């Protein structure tokens, strides 16, 4: 059984001056009426994927092939981070990044009607590189983050594909991974995917407007974070992460999500899930694989929150699973993809009503970028 070796050991971890701090569980912090997704998993024999009992799964797109038969638009290679957006006709859009290199990346969208039928598919961002994860804004745009070195950018995209995507240089030049917005302040929290990366906060000058603002980096004092301004967010003279030397360092920042006044994010090198409280400035670990004798969750990457408050973690380098952390932050298998060991799971995102979960196997069965597969799970009860 995967349990912490001891409660005391769990409470004694530390990283770079960040000591542990108990925080409210999701259940105590925000009691939700939605039903938990954590159930026994059953194998779908057609797709060779284990999913929660009472749910069904279908493939909705495959890289290099048309999303809709006889239509010219083909799904992008290396599908990565994603999110869903409601539409005026009670349908929704699923947006997905493409982590292709050499200006072959970007992002695309699949539109569903109110019955869940696919009615359109189209690009929303082109000619960018290694668009990894991103984030959904409260005003319903998609932030697509370039993981393309010290000069990666954030692009703000229209999920409907009507408006051209806009680069947001004020949000900093660095190896961007993902973004999450605190809807109370419009502050954007950003992760950086390098071994000595930082945790950033962008403070826009105007609400719902990311064209101008102040980029800050987190600085630790034990388990409390303060924020210092980055003077050169374009990294013209020095890489962004080295401009404030006392900044907190995180080992490979990955997915990030906002929930109940907390920012949850993952770091892949040390397999940790962090929680930062936006009101108290406290930071703590809610999951650390090193404190399990046989960790169920490794290769932590993209992250999502269910309507019932579970944290969903997609694995890159683990066992091709989506793991749900329950309200006490204990791990449970939610999805288990078989026969695709050279891939990684990306882009978990719920439809607006929480009844469908989207995700991708980035490189599919062959392990090649051009063979990624995107799926939909429907929770029927």
Stretch 87-91: mean pLDDT:
97
Taking the alpha carbons at both ends of the chain, their separation in whole angstroms is 28
Average model confidence (pLDDT) for the chain?
A: 92
| pLDDT for residue 381 | 64
| pLDDT for residue 35 | 78
Taking CA atoms, 355 is separated from 3, 112, 226, 376, in Å, by 30, 14, 38, 10
| pLDDT for residue 318 | 78
Stretch 79-106: mean pLDDT:
98
At 183-202, the pLDDT tens digits run: 999 999 999 999 999 999 99
Q: How are beta strands 373-379 and 92-98 bridged, if at all?
A: unpaired
Determine contact, residues 201/227, Cβ cutoff 8 Å. yes
Question: What top-level class would CATH report for the domain 7-379?
Answer: mainly beta
Determine contact, residues 83/96, Cβ cutoff 8 Å. no
Determine contact, residues 219/244, Cβ cutoff 8 Å. yes
At 252-264, the pLDDT tens digits run: 999 999 999 999 9
Give the sign of the dihedral formed by CA 93, CA 213, CA 272, CA 283: negative
At 292-306, the pLDDT tens digits run: 999 999 999 999 999
Q: How are beta strands 272-277 and 283-288 bridged, if at all?
A: antiparallel
Can you say whether residue 90 is alpha, beta or left, with left for phi > 0 and alpha for psi between -120 and 50 degrees?
Answer: left
Kindly report the pTM of this predicted structure: 0.91
Residue boundaries of the structural domains of the chain: 7-379
Stretch 314-329: mean pLDDT:
94
B/e letters for 202-231, b = 16+ CB within 10 Å, e = fewer, are bebeeeeebeebebbbbbbeebebebeebe
Residue 86: is it exposed, middle or buried by C-beta count within 10 angstroms (0-12/13-18/19+)?
A: middle
Confidence of residue 317 (pLDDT cuts 50, 70, 90): confident
At 1-55, the pLDDT tens digits run: 333 333 333 333 333 444 333 333 333 334 434 678 888 999 999 999 999 999 9
Q: Which residue has the higher pLDDT, 12 or 285?
A: 285
Torsion angle defined by CA atoms of residues 45, 48, 51 and 53, in that order, rounded to the nearest 10 degrees: 20
């Amino acid at each position: 059984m995967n349990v912490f070796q001891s409660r005391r050991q769990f409470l004694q971890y530390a990283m770079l001056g960040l000591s542990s701090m108990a925080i409210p569980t999701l259940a105590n912090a925000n009691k939700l009426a939605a039903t938990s997704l954590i159930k026994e998993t059953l194998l779908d024999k057609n797709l060779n994927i284990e999913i929660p009992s009472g749910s069904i799964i279908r493939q909705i797109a495959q890289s290099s092939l048309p999303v809709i038969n006889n239509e010219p638009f083909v799904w992008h290679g290396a599908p990565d981070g994603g999110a869903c957006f409601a539409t005026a006709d009670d349908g929704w859009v699923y947006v997905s990044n493409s982590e292709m290199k050499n200006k072959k990346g970007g992002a695309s969208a699949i539109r569903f009607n109110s019955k869940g039928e696919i009615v359109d598919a189209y690009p929303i961002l082109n000619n960018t590189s290694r668009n990894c994860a991103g984030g959904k804004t409260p005003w319903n745009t998609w932030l697509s983050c370039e993981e393309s070195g010290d000069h990666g950018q954030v692009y703000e995209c229209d999920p409907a594909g009507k408006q051209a995507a806009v680069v947001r240089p004020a949000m900093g030049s660095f190896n961007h991974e993902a973004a999450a917005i605190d809807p109370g302040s419009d502050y954007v929290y950003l992760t950086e995917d390098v071994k000595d990366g930082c945790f950033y906060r962008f403070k826009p000058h105007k609400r719902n407007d990311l064209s101008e603002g102040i980029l800050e980096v987190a600085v630790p004092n034990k388990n409390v974070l303060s924020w210092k301004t980055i003077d050169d967010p374009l990294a013209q003279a020095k890489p962004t992460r080295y401009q404030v030397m006392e900044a907190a360092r995180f080992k490979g920042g990955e997915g990030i999500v906002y929930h109940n006044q907390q920012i949850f994010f993952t770091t892949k090198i040390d397999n940790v899930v962090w929680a930062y409280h936006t009101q108290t400035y406290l930071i703590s670990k809610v999951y650390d694989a090193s404190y399990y004798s046989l960790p169920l969750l490794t290769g932590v990457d993209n992250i999502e929150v269910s309507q019932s408050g579970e944290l969903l973690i997609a694995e890159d380098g683990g066992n091709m699973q989506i793991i749900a952390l329950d309200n006490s932050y204990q791990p449970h298998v939610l999805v288990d993809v078989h026969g695709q060991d050279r891939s990684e799971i990306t882009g978990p995102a719920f439809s607006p009503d929480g009844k469908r979960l989207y995700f991708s196997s980035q490189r599919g069965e062959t392990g090649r970028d051009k063979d990624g597969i995107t799926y939909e799970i429907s929770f029927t009860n």
